A = this chain, B = another copy of it.
Amino acid sequence: MQYLKPLDRPALQALGIDGWAYGFADRVRFYELDALNHVNNVAFLRWFETIRVAYLQDYGLTSYAHDDTDPQIVIRAQSADYFAPMFQNESYVLTARTTLVKPSSFVMEYAAHVDGQVRCAGSAVVVSLEQDGKTRRAHKPEAVTLMIERDGATTEGL
């Protein structure tokens, strides 16, 4: 399997992962372990950030241009549930999806899968701001369309 290459819904289903339309494979690195010799709880949040950044670019929400052509995307809240530990060199598939999209925010879910089982699941409330880091900014319409069509995101106030 190719690492970090975006996987779509059929590719994920072929790996036994249903209900997700965006993912990629990666592998546990030494620096993600802590003194207990398993993947540190915070490392999973790093993974969710990594796939979120890729997702935001691939779905067209931002190009991270750091200028007015793009929103500044920030996290308002996030959570993680840990179901089983992970260890050095384990290969896993990371998935992301948007479940709810509102005019200038959305709710995402994430999961780390090993052999079809979810080791860690997460969620985040993501907000779209102007580059001032304060004013709310509406999403690019094409991105919203992809969130709905690919992920089946529900809408509210759109």
Contacts and interface: CB of A to CB of B under 8 A. Distances in A.
Interface of A: 2-5, 26-27, 29-31, 33-38, 40-42, 45-46, 49-50, 53, 57, 64, 66, 72, 74-82, 85, 88-89, 133
A88 B70 CA distance: 16
A4 B91 CA distance: 10
A41 to B, nearest CB: 4
Contact of A82 (B27, B35, B76): B76
Contacts of A81: 76-77
A130 B13 CA distance: 37
Contacts of A27: 4
Query: Would you call the interface of chain A mostly helix, strand, loop, or mixed?
Result: mixed
A125 to B, nearest CB: 9
Contacts of A45: 41-42, 45
A33 B53 CA distance: 12
A82 B75 contact: yes
A133 to B, nearest CB: 7
B34 A33 contact: yes
A149 B33 CA distance: 32
Contacts of A50: 29-31
A53 B76 contact: no
Contacts of A37: 35, 66
Pairs of residues from A and B, 10 with the lowest C-beta to C-beta distance, nearest first: A3-B3, A79-B79, A33-B35, A41-B75, A30-B53, A3-B4, A35-B37, A2-B2, A77-B81, A42-B45
